[in-house]
Structure 1
Amino acid sequence: MSENNRTAAIEDSRFRLLIDAVVDYAIYMIDPDGTITSWNSGAKRFKGYEEAEIIGEHFSRFYTPEDRANGMPQRALDTAIREGRFEGEGWRVRKDGTHFWSHVVIDPIIDPNGKLLGFAKITRDLTDRKMAEETLKQSEQQFRLLVQGVTDYAIYMLSPEGCVSNWNQGAQRIKGYLPEEIIGQHFSIFYTPEDRELGEPQRSLEIATREGRFENRSWRMRKDGTRFLAHVVVDAIRGDTGALLGFAKITRDVTEAHEAQQALEKTREALFQAQKMQAIGQLSGGIAHDFNNLLTVILGNLEIVQKRIGDAPKIARLLENATQGALRGVSLTQRMLAFARRQELKTESVDIPQLVQGITGLLRSSLGPGIRIETRFPEDLQPVLADSNQLELAILNLATNARDAMPDGGTVIIQAQAEVVLEQTHSTLAAGRYVCLSLIDSGEGMDEATLACARDPFFTTKGLGKGTGLGLSMVHGFIEQLGGRFILKSEKGQGTAAELWIPVALERTASRPSYSNAAPIAVPRLSVLVVDDDSLVLTSTSLLLEDLGHRVIGATSGAQALALFDQGEVIDLVITDMAMPKMSGAQLAHALRMLKPDLPIILSTGYAERLEGFAAQLPRLPKPFTQASLVQIIAQSMK
């Protein structure tokens, strides 16, 4: 053997050893017909065949039955001959029948004369990579289906420039655009014109780019031009190198949640206002009750002194002045009780047109010549159930407020119309028939802040010392006590409308008896038991009764009063305070009726309490009272 042949043999042997040492690639040769002529360790590891088993076999046995049926093995060889190389990926079959994903390269082997000697075939097992790709693809597909299936959120991508690149069902539902209508459009189309002018779209992308995320809540536009409140999140999407690929944008329609929150806040505010008014009402009622006790003492003593001073004009003027001051206190307590809904109401059937006509003269003189009064009443207007005196006072209060709102003159319209409230309405009024009495002025009107406080007690816009601030709160309390509703409507510069919703009077509604109108009758000298836990009121009432010639026995509690009966005290009449500790006047009256069923009993009270049973039928003496009031109610009780 020549030296050249020996060297070539050695090189060939080394090459074979190198090929056999490769285990990560299947490297083998096939002849021009596709028959396998060599086999390395990598091929044995991948495909499972020993060299003795596979040499001489056709390479097509590694293909799947479907690929063999399609002629793929021969096409691979033809491509290699025609193009100088074949390269591709596909499923192949091992000896045990399992499949693996392979990357295949086939190179034709050509001698110097151009004759095809065979093919060199290199196969790599990429099953793990293929499975990872399939898993990733499946995951991406599932994620895409998930995103597309979300309808409560608008989820879509933006290019780095802000153009929409995809669009899910939620985005279509919330914003109204079909994918073909919006993909490629700039996302600023969703912003309001005001926000676009302020540069909000670009600012959101700049913040997301700089900080990684932008989040806020603001108004957005739908395709049809309507607006919705959106909670928006924009996340910057970056590649492995940090390059900005675009933005992921998630939008949620929170309009309903926002409106629900606003409704909840309004409900809470209304509850707070109701609780505040209730607390102030209880406080006002309590103060008025105690103040009435003081006024009862003051007026009672002034009345006795006036009867006994004789001919002393200067002293008489002083007493008269003191009495007028006390009467102002009476008016103030009446307003406080009206606000607290604890005033004594003498409800009766009231014809509103007739009542307004009766006070027209007083209204004209109160409002002045610069204000014109118009009245508008339907002919068939039904009477209402109200206290006529208190209703007149309410109308005068509202008219006075209208006058103060029109310093340069104007018009006050007093009108009424029938209204029906059904059970299924959302009105706070009980179902039934009402008359809505309105006073409408052309004055300055009120802004929202003033209107919100207008009915609050002691709130006034008339300046220091020019009003008590109880006018509207008195009207509110009075109407509420009747079972109606007081509504104020006003806008700055548009005037004010005050509405009094008053229940319609039922047929044959009887007004409560007024003791002040009853003609006094002669009453013999009586033995009167006066019960009051306030010693000043007890003394004042006793002095007034003694001045009338009655014998008076005093008691400071219900228990003390009952003890007097147990002692055999002769008593013709009982006048008892209502609000007393331990035993109220109503409880005392019930106990006394058990002892003496025919005993006349008068309940004296500083405000109107709700009574039940026989106590509700007893005559009531409102505080503060005069000696004349005592004469009349005693005469009524002793009939």
Structure 2
Amino acid sequence: MNNETVNPTASTGHEQRFELLVASITDYAIYMLDPEGHVSSWNAGAQRFKGYEPQDIIGSHFSRFYTDEDRAAGLPQLALRAARDEGRFEGEGWRVRKDGTRFWASVVIDPIRAPDGTLVGFAKITRDTTERMTAQEALRESEQRFRLLVQGVTDYALYMLSPQGLITNWNAGAQRIKGFSEDEVVGSHFSRFFTEEDRAAGLPELALQTARSTGRHESEGWRVRRDGSRFFAHAVLDAIRDEQGTLIGFAKITRDISEQRKAAESLEQTRNALFQAQKMEAIGQLTGGIAHDFNNLLAVLSSGIDILHAQQPGSTANRVLDSMRRAVERGALLTQQLLSFARQQPLAAATHQLNTLVGAFEPVLRRAGGPQVSFLFDLAPRLASVSVDEARFEATLLNLVVNARDAMPDGGTLALETRNVELAASQIGALPAGRYVCVTVRDTGTGMAPEVVARAFEPFFTTKPVGKGTGLGLSQVYGFIAQSGGDVVIETALGKGTSISLYLPAVEDAGPADAGLPPLRSERVLIAEDDKLVMAVACELFETMGYEVLTAPDGVAALRILERDSDIDVLFTDLMMPNGMTGLELARAARARHPGMKIIIASGYPQAALQHEEPGSAEFSFVGKPYRLADLARHLRATS
């Protein structure tokens, strides 16, 4: 049997001390509620928070501390029910002081039960957390404003990376610039935006390493969009660390500067073109002056040789004089070349269709290229006319073909192209805006280094061995084209061949063609051919030379066209055609109706055999099959 007895006095003292402890707490409102929620005790903290004296509040229902809207929603009753049924209620919300002001409260309600489990009331602890809530709300609003700011920026890609370089967020600017939606990129590595060559070189890892060690990495380079296209980017990568200095990620800012880079490159090209033009102008003036003086000296020498030759007829000294004359003639040719570069050589300019000149000169160009060079001619149809010196233009083409051949010692492909182009102001050198004809000679040879290109048009500059070239070829080309109002552009790279493009101003067709050449105005040709494939080729050839083309499938249809249309300049017909009328019969009928019309008959038979079979056929011009552009051009020039 336990003889211990409980000292009622000690128990009472312990309860008094606990009551004093609770009553003296001022940071928490600690008070009791009866089972129905009426306040039954009130401590100093409750008085400080809520403004009520004990006598003002004890016996009142605790719901008076709630806002009107919370009371209307039944929150006080829900809190008591949760505490009673679940053993505890915890929550936060606005509460009302005696003076009507509000504060943000953190609330805990615990049920108090007797030893037999009977509910005798509730213990309620409330703390004023307004400052903490206000700070959190301010932080939330600040973060929200920052998110809105970042998302509102569309000129920059702004996003975050993890310490490993994984994308953690994505703004609207990033989506606009790079084309990816947020769902497509978050969680992936930012290296996906780099080009394959930059990834292979380890540039993404280098950027992270630099930003990690120095705090920042700034760079420019090509980046890749979602559709595979590239843009030139300026990128900044900043390391982000917490208060302890631990790296928590990176901030990435990227801007598309493709347009700025393009503008800067255009400005640099314009400056280079201006410098090149000024340099060539200065060299031209110097060269022209020297050539004029040299010509005067040669004139004196030439006259002296003539006098000596006349005074000593039959003399053995004449052999020496002949050698001197040949040297003077070579010197005179050299001065003509120099004057050509200096643009001081008069030009016999006339309006020409360059496809026609190229076609007529094609055999010479092929012979100059040699057997190891494969020629490709790509002549644009309906090419505009230009004003050029025909002989000098042919010499220019020959110069370029010979240079291309020499750049392909083991053979290769040489392409000659013509195109109509529309240029903006200063797009090519200092040429004004307008319509131009571009003639390009393209080879698959050794190419040129940049330092060679920079001097390519200078007189006497050559990379060929001694005795293999004078260095005047390209200088003559440049001088002639510049004097004709155009410009020359070289595109080349070592081991990748060279393209030299001649730009000449297009001119309006002015009257009939000169010297019997194919049309400078838009003349009309009627082609009679029953083979559709042959017809298509013939149409293409004549359109290339600038003709307006009419077609007929046989002689009968062609004759009907000639009967109703008298404004046809050329008849080009196949010899053998269906439906009872041969090409020769069509030619005779056309000649009877239009005596001035040019008529060309195409045939696979040798002309001698044809004349034997068809007496009188010699009055027409015959072209053998298969025919080329040069063949047609030659027959058109010769046909009256």
TM-score, length basis structure 1: 0.63
Identify the residue that residue 60 of structure 2 maps to in structure 1: 57
1:459 to 451, 458, 461: 461
Q: Does residue 139 of the first structure (1) align with residue 152 of the second (2)?
A: no
Aligned pairs for 1:544-583 (under 5 A) are: none
Distance 1:75 1:375 in 2: 93
Question: For residues 131-186 of structure 1, what are the alpha-carbon distances to aligned partners after superposition, in whole Å with 9 as ceiling and x for unaligned?
Answer: 11111111111222222233333333344554443333233333333333333444
Distance 2:354 2:83 in 1: 110
Identify the residue that residue 446 of structure 1 maps to in structure 2: 447
Q: Does residue 85 of the first structure (1) align with residue 88 of the second (2)?
A: yes
Identify the residue that residue 568 of structure 2 maps to in structure 1: none
Query: After the TM superposition, which of the residue ranges 359-368 and 87-96 deviates more from structure 2?
Result: 359-368
Q: Which has the higher contact order (CA 8 A, sep 6+)?
A: 1
2:124 to 121, 127, 146: 121
Identify the residue that residue 259 of structure 2 maps to in structure 1: 256
Distance 1:369 1:88 in 2: 97
Distance 2:12 2:496 in 1: 114
Native 8 Å contact 2:424 2:433 kept in 1: no
Native 8 Å contact 2:177 2:225 kept in 1: yes
Q: Does residue 227 of the first structure (1) align with residue 196 of the second (2)?
A: no
Query: After the TM superposition, which of the residue ranges 380-389 and 256-265 deviates more from structure 2?
Result: 380-389
Question: For residues 525-579 of structure 1, what are the alpha-carbon distances to aligned partners after superposition, in whole Å with 9 as ceiling and x for unaligned?
Answer: xxxxxxxxxxxxxxxxxxxxxxxxxxxxxxxxxxxxxxxxxxxxxxxxxxxxxxx
Provide the aligned length of Structure 1 versus Structure 2. 504
Query: After the TM superposition, which of the residue ranges 368-377 and 62-71 deviates more from structure 2?
Result: 368-377
Query: After the TM superposition, which of the residue ranges 132-141 and 310-319 deviates more from structure 2?
Result: 310-319
Secondary structure at 2:103's aligned position in 1? strand
**Structure 1 residues 381, 220: CA separation in 2 closer, same or farther (over 3 Å shift)?**
closer
**Structure 1 residues 273, 135: CA separation in 2 closer, same or farther (over 3 Å shift)?**
same
Q: Which amino acid aligns with 1:469?
A: G
How far residue 472 of structure 1 moved from its aligned partner, in angstroms, is: 1.6
Which consecutive residues of structure 2, in runs of 5 or more, have no partner in the other structure?
1-5, 516-640
Distance 2:88 2:360 in 1: 117
Native 8 Å contact 2:478 2:488 kept in 1: yes
**Structure 1 residues 257, 21: CA separation in 2 closer, same or farther (over 3 Å shift)?**
same
Native 8 Å contact 1:339 1:473 kept in 2: yes
How far residue 96 of structure 1 moved from its aligned partner, in angstroms, is: 1.5
Native 8 Å contact 1:421 1:430 kept in 2: no
How far residue 290 of structure 1 moved from its aligned partner, in angstroms, is: 4.4
Question: For residues 384-420 of structure 1, what are the alpha-carbon distances to aligned partners after superposition, in whole Å with 9 as ceiling and x for unaligned?
Answer: 754566556545644654564566789999x897x76
1:473 to 475, 479, 490: 475
Secondary structure at 1:128's aligned position in 2? helix
Same amino acid, percent of matched pairs: 50
Native 8 Å contact 1:429 1:485 kept in 2: no
Identify the residue that residue 100 of structure 1 maps to in structure 2: 103
Aligned pairs for 1:159-238 (under 5 A) are: 159-197=162-200, 200-238=203-241
Q: Does residue 37 of the first structure (1) align with residue 40 of the second (2)?
A: yes
Question: For residues 192-228 of structure 1, what are the alpha-carbon distances to aligned partners after superposition, in whole Å with 9 as ceiling and x for unaligned?
Answer: 4444555555554455444444443344433333333
Secondary structure at 2:160's aligned position in 1? strand
TM-score, length basis structure 2: 0.63
Secondary structure at 1:249's aligned position in 2? strand
Native 8 Å contact 1:485 1:502 kept in 2: no
Distance 1:405 1:161 in 2: 52
Distance 2:382 2:230 in 1: 48
**Structure 1 residues 63, 327: CA separation in 2 closer, same or farther (over 3 Å shift)?**
same
**Structure 1 residues 180, 27: CA separation in 2 closer, same or farther (over 3 Å shift)?**
same
How far residue 358 of structure 1 moved from its aligned partner, in angstroms, is: 11
Distance 2:505 2:287 in 1: 24
Identify the residue that residue 273 of structure 1 maps to in structure 2: 276
Identify the residue that residue 157 of structure 1 maps to in structure 2: 160
Distance 1:143 1:497 in 2: 56
How far residue 474 of structure 1 moved from its aligned partner, in angstroms, is: 1.5
**Structure 1 residues 432, 407: CA separation in 2 closer, same or farther (over 3 Å shift)?**
same
Distance 2:171 2:383 in 1: 62
**Structure 1 residues 197, 103: CA separation in 2 closer, same or farther (over 3 Å shift)?**
same
Identify the residue that residue 336 of structure 1 maps to in structure 2: 338
Query: After the TM superposition, which of the residue ranges 19-28 and 364-373 deviates more from structure 2?
Result: 364-373
Identify the residue that residue 79 of structure 2 maps to in structure 1: 76
Q: Which amino acid aligns with 1:71?
A: G
Q: Which amino acid aligns with 1:477?
A: G
Aligned pairs for 1:241-252 (under 5 A) are: 241-252=244-255
Which consecutive residues of structure 1, in runs of 5 or more, have no partner in the other structure?
512-639
Secondary structure at 1:258's aligned position in 2? helix
How far residue 126 of structure 1 moved from its aligned partner, in angstroms, is: 0.9
How far residue 83 of structure 1 moved from its aligned partner, in angstroms, is: 3.7
Identify the residue that residue 572 of structure 1 maps to in structure 2: none
